[in-house]
Amino acid sequence: MNKPIVQFQDLGRIRYKEAWDYQTSLHQGIIAQKLENRKKPEEERVPTANHLLFCEHDPVFTLGKSGHESNLLISRDLLSSKGIDFHEINRGGDITYHGPGQLTGYPIFDLENFFTDIGKYLRLMEASIIQVLALYGLQGERIDGLTGVWLDAQHPTKARKIAAIGVHSSRWVTMHGFGFNITADLSPFSLIVPCGIRDKGVTSLHLEVDGVDFETVKNQVRAAFAEQYNFEERG
């Protein structure tokens, strides 16, 4: 069986709303193609596309559809004065922060080109980050019931999240994705209860090891995704 083809784009630094609108347009385009294909005999169907977008965002808090605004610890007016955007969005999960030094990734995959299993999709996203952390001598881990990647996951006072994950899927087409702190300023996290979890901290790769280069790590994550999801990249 041929590997799925994934179109890769690095959007650079971009405001959240602009990236959200772009990934929404790609997501809706894939769904529209799937619906059109259903009207055609199999030999006339057009293969659906898959995309992987990387970016860094200007400072922003995003609140997932199952989140609680009470986990935002300051008023929205004060957010504006600090230059931080706020958006309520349709991914799973609670509130999180995106900003410079954090690699944000948006896989917009038609999972029918891969496998129809959201749980597996999430685990492979975590595995991609875990694979990169191992290159730096760090043991990335999962915590049962909590999506994302953690360090010292089983230690009650040391557990800290290094990558947050929140996704949305419609007709097996995914959007949203992960935020991996690489050289991120973590001070904005003090303004929220990250992911609604009060008893665990957050961290960034540059605080765990010396000599972290953002572009190098970005390329390592890109390669890990292709390996974990077993796709062929175009870009």
At 26-78, the pLDDT tens digits run 999 999 999 999 999 989 999 999 999 999 999 999 998 888 888 889 888 88
Question: What percentage of the chain carries pLDDT values higher than 90?
Answer: 76
Contacts with 23 (C-beta within 8 Å, 6 or more apart), sequence order: 51, 53, 106, 108, 175, 176
- What are the boundaries of each domain within the chain? 5-228
Which residue from 115, 110, 111 is spatially nearest to 32, judged by alpha carbons? 110
Find residue 103's DSSP bridge partners.
180
| Residue that wins the pLDDT comparison between 156 and 226 | 226
What is the per-residue pLDDT across 71-109, written as a single tens digit (0 to 9) for each? 889 888 888 888 899 999 888 888 889 999 999 999 999
195 is an active site residue: yes
pLDDT band at 202 (very low <50, low <70, confident <90, very high): very high
Tally of CB atoms within 10 A around 40: 10
Alpha helices in 98-204 (DSSP H): 118-135
Q: What is the pLDDT of residue 94?
A: 85
Structure tokens at 112: 């029918």
The arithmetic mean of pLDDT across residues 161-188, rounded, is: 96
The arithmetic mean of pLDDT across residues 193-210, rounded, is: 85
The type of residue at 182 is I
Q: Which of 151, 195, 202, 217 is catalytic?
A: 195
Give the strand pairing for 51-57 and 102-108: antiparallel
Residue 137 and residue 132: Cα distance in Å, rounded? 9
Query: Which CATH topology does 5-228 take?
Result: BirA Bifunctional Protein; domain 2 (3.30.930)
pLDDT at 156 over 90: no
Which residue from 56, 24, 30 is spatially nearest to 182, judged by alpha carbons? 56
Q: What is the pLDDT of residue 110?
A: 98
pLDDT at 197 over 80: no
Q: Which of 49-58, 103-112, 153-162, 197-206 has the lowest mean pLDDT?
A: 197-206
| Residue that wins the pLDDT comparison between 9 and 79 | 9
Phi-psi region of 205 (alpha: psi -120 to 50; beta: other; left: phi over 0): alpha
Count of CA atoms in the C-beta half-sphere (13 A) of 75: 3
Q: What is the pLDDT of residue 196?
A: 67
Q: What is the mean pLDDT of the chain?
A: 93
Which residue from 57, 189, 234, 207 is spatially nearest to 136, judged by alpha carbons? 207
